[in-house]
Amino acid sequence: AGTGVGASHGILMKGGEALEAASKIEAVVFDKTGTLTVGRPGITDLESFPSIKKDKRFDDNNNYLLWLLGSLERNSEHPLATAIVSYAEATIDTEFLRENPFGQLSDFRAVTGRGAKAVVNGDVSVAVGNRPFCEMMEISIGQNVEDTMTTMELDGKTAIVAAVDGEVRAVIGIADELKPDAAASISYLRDTMGIDVWMV
């Protein structure tokens, strides 16, 4: 009967032994993505850095930077790329985007689990990726950029770098949204049942 009740709540147990052992559980380990979160990462932060080259195309509201990033990532199905494109489309000034549809790519290169790089409209080299990708592409991460990435990571976010023509122009913070009942479930396990809760 207990396994049937569990199944009706989405909990599958292999036999009565597992059900009996459940009363002795002292710790629960969750994987985060798709279990406690909705499984759709989104941009939470975009910290831009001024260009040494003083390129006039970069404005205070990041239209041009986001246009470059959207151009780079628009054909990718990777969840982080999709998050960047969605953020760019929602944030770029409507008139700017209407007058400047996302650009065409050449020399595209993607490295699984690290990042992507391409030339937009035959003019500007754009790269988005993690630290190892920046190292591969010989993109220098200064102390300000490193500090910004570390701060975002300490907040539980994935921090990636956006570089234009080899120069870091932004750090992007990405996080997955918690499921509505995640906090209450963890609180119940920890506070009411006295079970240690861990996340991997």
Residues annotated catalytic, as ranges: 31
With contact defined as beta carbons under 8 Å apart, do 117 and 81 qualify? no
Give strand pairing partners of 116: 110, 128
**Listed residue (71, 81, 42, 75) closest to 176, CA to CA:** 42
Can you tell me the distance from the alpha carbon of 28 to that of 111, in angstroms, rounded to the nearest whole number? 34
Q: Where are the beta strands (DSSP E) in the chain?
A: 27-30, 37-48, 105-111, 115-120, 124-129, 158-164, 167-178, 196-199
